Amino acid sequence: MITLADLIRAFAGLLQPHPDNAALLDEWLETARACDLPHLHSFTRGLDQDTDAVHAALTLPFHNGGTEGVNNTLTGGHRNDVTQLIPLIEAIPPVRGKVGRPRRRPDVLLADRGYDHDKYRRLVRAKGITPVIGRRQTPHGSGLGRHRWVVEQTLAPLHWFCRLRIRWEIRADIHQGFLALAAALICWRRLQPTLR
């Protein structure tokens, strides 16, 4: 029996562009339709609406689906998110597009006061990244919000999915599966108007 987590993992594997992905997507769609998972049926119907564009996105290297939503990590309950800062930085994939060696790291890291720890500032600087992190117990108005709204706007679509607003699953792999599926849906919704 195929589980939702298996289907999500298989679909996440298709997000890396490869010429064989068109056939693999067709197999995945048939498997997803055959399963008794009604919440996936609307997703498969959406993919069927513009099959050629979806095949192009999964087979050609000229899209950003491989970078949106890829870097995520899950912390335990009542744990500080700053503990996952360095693994997230190390997980940044190469950014394609410009001629030459692909970039593997950003120039600047923007973060709020929850990440204000000198230890992590040093670790980020050691990677050649300038940390711009708000200091605790200082008045607001540093101007960091002018840049951070882009991050907040990127995370806001994840709150469209009520299963991600509050973590109800005990198993981390199921929550990660829902997160991967949500990221795929967000990418598809954002690409859909440009594909018409």
Q: What is the mean pLDDT of residues 19-36?
A: 87
Binned at pLDDT 50, 70 and 90, residue 189 comes out as confident
183 three-class SS:
helix
Binned at pLDDT 50, 70 and 90, residue 145 comes out as low
**Is-contact 45 75, C-beta < 8 A?**
no
The DSSP secondary-structure symbol of 83 reads G
Question: Which tokens hold the place of 43?
Answer: 């997703």
Single pTM value for the model: 0.51
Does the pLDDT value for residue 126 go beyond 90? yes
68 closest CA partner among 154, 149, 129: 154
66-116 pLDDT, tens digit each: 444 456 677 777 778 788 888 888 887 776 667 777 777 778 888 878 888
Domain range list for the chain: 4-63+161-195, 81-144
Please provide the average confidence, as pLDDT, over all residues in the chain: 76
Give the per-residue pLDDT at 69: 46
Give the per-residue pLDDT at 123: 93
